[in-house]
Amino acid sequence: MAPATYDDLDVEAIKAVAAGNASEGQQKRAIGWIVHKAAMTYDEPFVPGQPDVTAHLTGRMNVGRQILKLVNVPIHLLTKTERKA
């Protein structure tokens, strides 16, 4: 299994997010790369005859699903304490 592919703009976006100075476009690109390429969230994880590879891919997908949960579920359903305005 090969590592996730990336190009120069992906690298710049991930580094900018990590440094805390990413533009809006870089933030979106970084999340997109993580969800689609690194985590392979929407790919099929089943590899016939290779249960270890299937387990590995399922673990990768879980990372993407956790991110998408936090992105897509309304914040009031995720937070444990009430926020004060």
pTM, whole model, 2 decimals? 0.85
Interval 22-34 mean pLDDT = 98
Range of the domain at 53: 8-74
Is residue 46, in this structure, part of any structural domain at all?
Answer: yes
Is residue 15, in this structure, part of any structural domain at all?
Answer: yes
Is residue 55, in this structure, part of any structural domain at all?
Answer: yes
Longest dimension (CA), the chain: 54
Position of tokens 């004060």?
Answer: 84
CA distance 81 to 5: 39
Is residue 80, in this structure, part of any structural domain at all?
Answer: no
Confidence check: pLDDT of 3 > 80 = yes
Is residue 82, in this structure, part of any structural domain at all?
Answer: no
CA distance 47 to 42: 15
Confidence check: pLDDT of 43 > 80 = yes
Is residue 81, in this structure, part of any structural domain at all?
Answer: no
Domain count, the chain: 1
Render pLDDT for 60-85 as a digit per residue (tens, 0 to 9).
999 999 999 999 999 999 998 766 65
DSSP structural state of residue 49: T
E strand or H helix that includes residue 18: helix 8-19
Confidence check: pLDDT of 8 > 80 = yes
Is residue 25, in this structure, part of any structural domain at all?
Answer: yes
Position of tokens 């590592």?
Answer: 3
Is residue 13, in this structure, part of any structural domain at all?
Answer: yes
